[in-house]
Structure formats: structure tokens, C-alpha cells
Amino acid sequence: MNWLTDYVRPKIKQVFRTREMPENLWQKCDSCGQMIFHRDFEAQLHVCDNCGHHMKIGPDARFRALLDEGTMAAVEVPEPIADPLKFRDTKRYTDRLKDARSKTGFKDAATVVEGQMAGVPVVLAAHAFDFMGGSMGMAVGNALLAAAERAVALGAPLIAFPAAGGARMQEGILSLMQMPRTTVAVEMLREAGLPFIVVLTDPTTGGVTASYAMLGDIQIAEPGALICFAGPRVIEQTIREKLPEGFQRAEYLLDHGMLDMVVDRRQMRETLTLVVEMLMRPVPLPLLDDAEGAGKSAAGRKRKVAAEKDAAGPSVESEAAADAGGEAEARSKG
């Protein structure tokens, strides 16, 4: 037995053996190229700490960052008819759906949950851009309607996080029909007097922008998000002119009055909590409680009583007083 070969050499190899490093330990920033350790990347909600670039984040991670721990529950969304047009290009539509579901773990491009944010009940709906580009088909329309119905049932605000390349071409006209359907969902909230808040993420384009994504009572966007109907490249090729720098980005739209605010994802929970609390706060009646206000309210009540008397016509007492006055005037003349 050669102890050098059989014992010493394996021990030396074991000491100096190179460990296999997982491939997902580091994330490269899409903007500045900074390498970010995966734990820091998750803690920063997929935002580069070096340049502030917001990279894409899935619905689950977004929901966990916004909702109170232990309050999140999924909202059931009705499943649509699978492949109603029997569509096929280079692959069957059903095969594309299977691949997307296997890759992302989602049933379709939109996910709906309910929960509490700082103790306030809310309903959240978000697109998964990794699922066929977040495209809007019948399943997304069903998701927005289910979210609105649940929000109305709870008396809670609905917060939507669109991220889509537009309508889903594999569903043809049926995907375009989701534009009025999602608009109806927004109208349900308006009729119930509940807030609809939209947080536009990168990218929000096409039929999603042309429907519910721009109908929020409060329009918020993440920094640098592309928000448009037709993309800048298509517009440049059409008009054959160079577009301004930052055109159709969140900051450009904010400067031109299309948005209410642009908020860093790391401050999104605090901002949404403040907005929801303000919109859901009950308004006290009467609005004027000070002495001057009370006086105005009393004067208003007097005017209302006088107006009601005028509308009712002369009373019996006023007619009797008029008759007595007329008799006295006749006696004085006689």
C-alpha cells in the first residue's frame, strides 16, 4: 500500500479543492454594470444602490414588500377559455402558456391579492412581465374585474401595478376587448366611492396604457419607467425626427402633467400608506366647526327656512294680519 498515493494525495486535494460557486450570487445592474450581492439585491427591492436604477421585480416580492406580514391572501381569479382562437405561429399558443407557467410559476400575467398595509385593508393587482411580457389577455381582464369586485366587497382601495408590452396578440380581438372590460372595473370602484391607485412600472405600454393604467385617481410611477402607447423607436421611424431625451419616461411625464408623483420603490410602502389613509379618511360634517363657521351655518339654515316658507306661500297668520291692517286703514280714512 502506497500511503502517499492512497492517503496523503486525497487529503491534499480535499484541502485545495475549489468550491463550486452558485451562478445567482451576484446580479449585474442593467444601467451602470455594478455587481450587487444577491442578498443586498433582494433587500434593496431590485434597485441598484449605486445608480438607483429600478430593475424588474415579480409580483410576489412586490406584495411582500408592501403588505403587513401575515395578512396577504390570494384572490381567486376565474380562468378564461384556453386558446379560444386555436392560435399558432412558430409555436402553439397553448405551448407558450405552458412554457411561461413553468418558467414563472404564475397561471397568467396578472396576480391579485388582498391584505393590510399599515393596518388598512387593500387589494393589490400586479403584472408579471416575465409571463409573456405581461401582455393583457382575457386572464388579465378577469383579474382586474376580480380585484375590483373584491375591493368593493371589502370597501377597500385597489392598487394596480401594470407592467406590460400591450395586448396579447395570440388572443386577437378578444385581447382588445379587455380594454373596455378593465375600464368597467375602474368604474365599479368609482360608483362605490373607493380609490383606484395606479403605480406605473417599467414598461407600461400599448393597450394597458390605453385602458385602466391611466385611469387612476392617483397616478404614481417608478423612476425611469417607460410609459407610452407606441414606443419611442416606432414614433421616430414614423415622424422621422429625433425625440427629446427621456421622452415617455416617468420623469418626463411628471414634468408634463401626466403623473402625480414619481416614487422610489424603496419608499413606495410609506407613500402608498399615506395616500390610502388620506383617501379613506372619513370627512367630518359639518365641515366648519369654529365660531365663524357655526355662524355661517346658522345663517344658511335661516335662509333655507325662509326659502321654504316662500315656496309654501302665505301662511294663515300672515293673511289674518293683512286683513286686520286693511280694516284699520279703512277706518282711518273714514
Same domain, 91 and 240: yes
- State the CATH number of the domain containing residue 271: 3.90.226.10
182, part of any domain: yes
Same domain, 198 and 254: yes
Per-residue pLDDT for 139 more than 70?
yes
- Taking residues 188-213, what's their average pLDDT? 97
Same domain, 120 and 267: yes
- Taking residues 268-278, what's their average pLDDT? 96
Same domain, 36 and 141: no
Report the interhelical angle of 138-154 vs 178-192 (nearest 10°).
10
Q: Which of 262, 280, 298 is the last residue of a domain?
A: 280
- Taking residues 201-218, what's their average pLDDT? 96
Same domain, 203 and 256: yes
Same domain, 30 and 91: no
Q: Which of 55, 70, 101 is the last residue of a domain?
A: 55
User: Per-residue DSSP letters for 204-272?
Assistant: B-HHHHTTGGG--SEEEE-TT-BB-SS-HHHHHHHH-SPPPTTTTBHHHHHHTTS-SEE--GGGHHHHH
- Taking residues 1-9, what's their average pLDDT? 64
Per-residue pLDDT, 63: 98
User: Per-residue DSSP letters for 6-37?
Assistant: IIIHHHHHHHSPPPPPPTTSEEE-TTT--EEE
Per-residue pLDDT for 256 more than 70?
yes
Q: Is 32 annotated as a binding residue?
A: yes
Angstrom CA distances, 239 to 182, 232, 233, 253, 321, stand at 31, 11, 10, 20, 82
**Domain range for 102:** 57-280
- Taking residues 186-194, what's their average pLDDT? 97
Same domain, 133 and 252: yes
- Mean pLDDT rounded to a whole number for the chain: 87
Q: Is 48 annotated as a binding residue?
A: yes
For residue 201, what pLDDT band results from cuts at 50, 70 and 90? very high
pLDDT single digits (tens) 34-50: 999 999 999 999 999 99
For residue 214, what pLDDT band results from cuts at 50, 70 and 90? very high
Per-residue pLDDT for 18 more than 60?
no
How many domains does the chain divide into?
Answer: 2
- Taking residues 125-151, what's their average pLDDT? 97
pTM more than 0.85: no
Share of the chain above pLDDT 90, in %: 75
Per-residue pLDDT, 24: 74
